Amino acid sequence: MILTSVIDAMEATPLVELSRIRDEIGYDGRILAKLDYLLPGFSKKDRAARYTIEAARASGVLAAGQTVVELTSGNMGTGLAIVCGVLGHPFVAVMSEGNSPERARMMRALGAEVVLVRQASGARAGEVSGADLALVEEAAQTLTRERGAFRADQFRMPANTAAHQTGTAPEIWQQSGGSITAFCDFVGSGGTLGGCARYFAPKGVHCYAVEPDQAQHPIQGGGYSMSELTHLKDVDLAGTETVSGNEARKAARLLARREGVFGGYSAGANLAAAIHLLQTREQGGTIAIVICDSGLKYLSTDLWGTT
């Protein structure tokens, strides 16, 4: 089948059982990994980018040729750069300097204008905090006004949730033969967890938020200590699993070494949380996780620096 554009490839990723990791660690149950790092922008955010822009164009909120602005840790921005490039919209990505430089380089290569925002006082490079995100949000709001742009607000746009409620979750359910008993995901905007939980919870699947164990952490793209997230309002969650940066790092390296799945920090966080769940509350179950983005986006970080 020949696709009309690369946008049509932003779906239908494989689901793989991580049986080699189970054999090495010895937990009771199964972990199924949704390989969204194989999407064109190397992350699950391609789905939300596509849905957001297509919905805005269909409703008339986004006019032909109008500029799109969005804050990003790099993944949503990459997806938007691809979609906007194909559909003829200039795109401006606003990102903290604390994110890995590979992300900015990739977005620029895809035609985006990238505006880097200085980190908050006392912040560490490679660890983007809620205070850093607030500065990025302020810059994004200013640019949206100045450019007369459409704001692809991933923290509030319902298309973010819809992308996973109608795409990611049904794909996992169909590919697993309806066998999963739990799902967990590292929380950034909350769109993936919120959308998947809305699909899975009515089917009796326990859904868990994955969060870092402290405010300063290396897991880029989330863990901003935000008290309220639009996408998680009125969502039936079974609980929260916390992971440390070191646990996420070790799990990502294990995922690459034993399964050949080259994911990033958040993929490691998801795997670490799933292993812990199978050792405790979800023993004997089948847990689905998403490999959120590619390890290629972290080559300059400590994720791979000392392997």
Over residues 238-263, the pLDDT tens digits come to 999 999 999 999 999 999 999 999 99
45-151: CATH topology: Rossmann fold (3.40.50)
Among candidate residues 43, 129, 266, 294, the one labeled active-site is 266
In this prediction, residue 129 carries a pLDDT of 79
State the pLDDT confidence band at 80, using cuts at 50, 70 and 90: very high
Alpha helices in the chain, H assignment, sequence order: 19-25, 45-59, 75-87, 101-109, 130-147, 158-163, 169-175, 191-200, 245-259, 265-279, 302-305
Among candidate residues 43, 45, 129, 189, the one labeled active-site is 45
Domain boundaries, the chain: 6-43+157-305, 45-151
Q: Which of 114-123, 135-144, 173-182 has the lowest mean pLDDT?
A: 114-123
- How distant, in Å, are the alpha carbons of 104, 253, 257, 260, 286 from that of 294? 14, 12, 14, 12, 24
State the pLDDT confidence band at 216, using cuts at 50, 70 and 90: confident
The model's pTM: 0.94
265 pLDDT above the threshold of 90: yes
Give CATH for domain 6-43+157-305.
3.40.50.1100
Asked if 266 is an active-site residue, the reply is yes
State the pLDDT confidence band at 306, using cuts at 50, 70 and 90: low
List, for residues 180-194, the tens digit of each pLDDT value. 999 999 998 999 999
Asked if 203 is an active-site residue, the reply is no
307 pLDDT above the threshold of 70: no
Residue range 232-240: average pLDDT?
94
List, for residues 38-57, the tens digit of each pLDDT value. 999 999 999 999 999 999 99
